[in-house]
Amino acid sequence: MNSTPFDPQRDVEILARETVFQGYFRVDRYTLRHRLFRGGWSRPIQRELFERGHAAAVLPYDPERDRVLLIEQFRIGPYAHGGAPWQIEIVAGILHEGESPAELARREALEEAGCVLTSELLPVAAYYMSPGAVSEHMTLFCALTDLADAGGIHGLDHEDEDIRVHVPTFDEAMAWLAAGRIQNSPAIIALQWLALNRPRLRAG
């Protein structure tokens, strides 16, 4: 295998694929082989893949007040791991059919936090959440927003959402991050990006 761009027809051979679970999410089992760095092909290998759709997330930031909007809600993953299930996060969601990541970010900001995003969304990062076993691709934004009236309890009843909005100062949010209170990658990455870009955003 060389450094030329990936070609799905040339570099990976799918020998079999089956859906082994279909519920709210889906699990597929692949049998495949792929080209090796030293040349030639791997032997056939099996991999289970968790299919949950692709996502986008946004960190609303008020440069005038130097505050961010974070949300808190119950999450089954940390609970099953033995951690605190109420997680501090940023607004996020799964893409609907035909929806762009930016459209999703604006929709979820309103649904999860009652926050209308009117400014341009600033790109932060695009990355795979857990590429060893999950197809999910995350598009991450920051939005410059007036947070004077932000707060309260939000979420959609038909999705059983119970979401509390926090509007800490930037320094408070970074203190939460340093103390380990924020434990999910979109929020961590977005806040670290803001730490790097905050002087420019406040000046401009």
pLDDT, tens digit (0-9, with 9 covering 90-100), for 60-86? 999 999 999 999 999 989 999 999 899
170 and 190 Cβ atoms separated by less than 8 Å:
no
Same domain (yes/no): 24, 77? no
Q: What is the separation, in whole angstroms, between the first and last Cα of the chain?
A: 46
* Structural domain containing residue 36: 8-51
Map residue 191 onto helix, strand or coil: helix
**pLDDT score of 2:** 56
User: Given a cut of 70, is residue 196 above it in pLDDT?
Assistant: yes
Same domain (yes/no): 80, 47? no
**pLDDT score of 16:** 97
Same domain (yes/no): 115, 39? no
Same domain (yes/no): 35, 87? no
Quick check: is 135 in a domain? yes
**pLDDT score of 1:** 52
pTM: predicted TM-score of the whole model, two decimal places = 0.89
Among the listed residues 72, 89, 159, 172, the single catalytic one is 159
Would residue 159 show up in a list of annotated catalytic residues for this protein?
yes
The domain tally of the chain equals: 2
HEC sequence for 95-109: CCCCCCHHHHHHHHH
Same domain (yes/no): 41, 101? no
Same domain (yes/no): 170, 89? yes
74 and 68 Cβ atoms separated by less than 8 Å:
no
